[in-house]
Homo-oligomer: A and B are copies of this chain.
């Protein structure tokens, strides 16, 4: 089964998710620079989520590049990932409109956690359709960065009971962690040809 349409469909969904988030930046009624001030938390949330979707697109791009074939299970693992990511605009808007509130920060973390687990399952499903010791499997390795991210999401959710800004800091830390694209695969692909 070819991976072309899986990539095209995922590109489409991710492009839409990343773009409709900007619709939450509601045009202010006033025309002064100061009228943009109430939008700052929404804008900050947009920036963080834009980087997150960008990271997922980058990693998805690297992951699929290392894959040679897919399966029905991979299609659904991918759809499951897109489901979680499709909730990002909703939670971003909720968090942006209630800066400092705990519940949106928790739900934001849960959605990131869901997406993180979904990505992990997609990786596992992809490795499963390749031979043992494939470039893909070697490239992913033990996936320490993936596990650390999941841990930081859980920590972020827990931290919201102390201070919601600590949660936001932890979520941002994961984004920084992944900002550099997945050099594991890039390296392997470079070596392997």
With most chain B CB atoms within 10 A of its CB, the pick from A13, A15, A35, A186 is A15
Decide yes or no whether A27 CB sits under 8 A from chain B.
Answer: yes
Residue of B nearest to A54 (CB): B79
**Within 8 Å of chain B (Cβ to Cβ): is A16?**
yes
Residues of B within 8 A of A18 (CB): 13, 82, 86
Q: How far is the CB of A78 from chain B (nearest CB, A)?
A: 9
CB distance from A160 to the nearest CB of B (A): 11
CA distance A98 to B86 in the complex (A): 23
A189 to B69, CA, bound (A): 13
Residue on B nearest A18 in the bound complex, by CB: B13
Residues A61 and B27 in contact in the complex (CB < 8 Å), given A13-B18, A54-B79, A83-B50: no
Interface residues in chain A, defined as those with a beta carbon under 8 Å from any beta carbon in chain B: 1-2, 5-9, 11-20, 22-25, 27-28, 31-33, 35-36, 47, 50, 54, 57-58, 61, 64-65, 72, 75-76, 79, 82-83, 86-87, 89-90, 93-94, 97-98, 101-104, 106-107, 179-181, 183, 186, 189
Tell me which residues across on chain B come within 8 A of A11, comparing CB atoms. 5, 8-9, 12
Q: Determine if B28 and A181 form an interchain contact, defined as CB atoms under 8 angstroms apart.
A: no
* Stoichiometry (number of copies): 4
- Give the secondary structure class of A's interface: helix
* Nearest CB in chain B to that of A25: its residue: B90
Give A79 to B15 CA distance when docked, in angstroms. Answer: 11
Residues of chain B within 8 A of A72, CB atoms compared: 58, 180-181, 183, 186
Give Cα A23 to B88, complex, Å. 11
A-B contact pairs, 7 of them (CB 8 A): A6-B61, A11-B12, A13-B15, A19-B20, A24-B27, A31-B104, A58-B72
Q: A1-B186, A9-B15, A65-B1 are in contact. Are A54 and B76 (CB under 8 A)?
A: yes
